[in-house]
Amino acid sequence: MDVIVKPTPSLKGQFGALSSKNYTTRYLLAAALAEGTSTIHFPAHSEDSDAMRRCIADLGALLEEDDEKIVITGFGRNPHPATELNVGNAGAVLRFLMGTAALLPDVTFVNTYPESLGKRPHLDLIEALEQMGVEVEHQAGRLPIRIRGGQPKGGHIRVSGSVSSQYLSALLFLTPLLEEDSHIEVLHDLKSKVVIGQTLEVLEQAGITVHASEDYMSFDVPGRQSYKAREYTVQGDYPGSAAILAAAAVTHSDVTVERLMEHSKQGERAIVDVLRMMEVPLTHENDVVRIQGNGRLKAVEFDGDAATDAVLAMVAAAVFAEGTSRFYNVENLRYKECDRITDYLNELKKAGAHVEERQAEIIVHGTPEGVSGGVEINAHFDHRVIMALTVVGLRAAQPLRIKDAHHVAKSYPQYFDHLRALGADVEWVQ
């Protein structure tokens, strides 16, 4: 389905932030790898987190869920044999479970999104698993991927971090269960280091010991560990909230979002700092962000590597800022559900924005008077692109029609419901 976003001068209201997708998927996996019963309070519901639910159930975890919590009895280091796993369009879920699948004799990850996840590379993780004695059949690093494991070996493991930190997270979840101790060496650069901090936080809560170097470029992981059954509480989600906060910033608004921890390890928490740099009137106290927007913003320069999933929302806000904004060190945006630099900027240009791309940068020449709109734009089946383009549509002179906007459900199924509740003029159309 498409959505038509009409000019909306003001937003007002309050609600609790969606639960974090990143933490939910990690807690689900940690609970599945535990022997015993764990409880996760306020888990996220999205296509990604539901993909993890589905796959760990296929591997033998028992799940019982109500409106506030999910109770999981794990399979420990002995997942049940499965011939196929379908992660949908969830790249992080695929990569995390490729590590877990190394414990299985033979499993194939199928390709149900050939135009999105099917195009994304996973070769760096494949090469790391092969160092551990795991056989992997693949299509130049892409799906479908068949893994023949059973008895992966620890030891000295090298993995590139230049494309994604998710490969490293997959190894950090797997290696504590091996017979041998492991030393993981990260080659080249490590993208999105802050997300590794989230993985390490969850592992520690699950009773797992990992010794990390200060720069996160090497890790010593003792083997023969066991995940402990625990109770977890999922915090509010900054990546999804970033678009809501950007929408409030570009309109005349009084918007309050609760459950956003001030000292969260989510790198996308930087959306609050960037909006402050843009001189947006806001407060952040007691895990509550309140924006009283006046529609006036100043240009910024920002290193986006630590806040990957909020950069597109920041760019959308910068479209209406006074001056030229620069978001740099963001090349890994090219390796997401779509090329979030080229594809996104092409659509912004259609809407009337003045933007330029570099290999690892986005340049935005702000137009405080607004953009023209009045066009149909393609979000390339990407949930983050959909949300960010919606922000731009709120301040366009004419409505924007966003194609296939239902793919927002990948991370934030309630996104348009929340915007409507704040007064946004959005309409679903066939």
Which portions of the chain are predicted below pLDDT 70?
none
Strand arrangement of the beta sheet that strand 376-378 belongs to: 376-378, 400-403, 2-5, 426-429
Contacts of 53 (CB under 8 A, 6+ apart): 28, 63, 70
State the Cα–Cα distance between residues 229 and 210, nearest whole angstrom: 18
Tell me if 400 sits within 8 A of 4, measured CB to CB. Answer: yes
Tell me if 141 sits within 8 A of 335, measured CB to CB. Answer: no
Tell me if 310 sits within 8 A of 237, measured CB to CB. Answer: no
What is the per-residue pLDDT across 116-148, written as a single tens digit (0 to 9) for each? 899 999 999 999 999 999 999 999 999 999 999
Which ranges in 251-341 belong to alpha helices (H)? Answer: 270-277, 311-318
> Between the CA of residue 94 and those of 27, 247, 365, what are the distances in Å?
15, 31, 37
Tell me if 171 sits within 8 A of 183, measured CB to CB. Answer: no
Q: Which of 327, 289, 307 is nearest to 384 (CA)?
A: 307
Looking at residue 430, its pLDDT comes to 87
pTM reported for the whole predicted model:
0.88
For residue 281, report the phi and psi dihedrals to the nearest 5 degrees.
-70, 115
Contacts of 67 (CB under 8 A, 6+ apart): none
Tell me if 72 sits within 8 A of 28, measured CB to CB. Answer: yes
CA atoms within 13 A on the CB side of 24: 25
Tell me if 267 sits within 8 A of 23, measured CB to CB. Answer: no
Residues involved in catalysis: 309
Looking at residue 191, its pLDDT comes to 84
State the Cα–Cα distance between residues 182 and 268, nearest whole angstrom: 30
Is the bond preceding residue 144 a cis peptide, omega within 30 degrees?
yes
Looking at residue 176, its pLDDT comes to 98
Looking at residue 22, its pLDDT comes to 93
Looking at residue 290, its pLDDT comes to 98
Place of tokens 């420990």: 76
What is the per-residue pLDDT across 164-197, written as a single tens digit (0 to 9) for each? 999 999 999 999 999 999 999 999 989 888 899 9
Question: At CA 215, angle to CA 213 and CA 221, rounded to 5?
Answer: 30
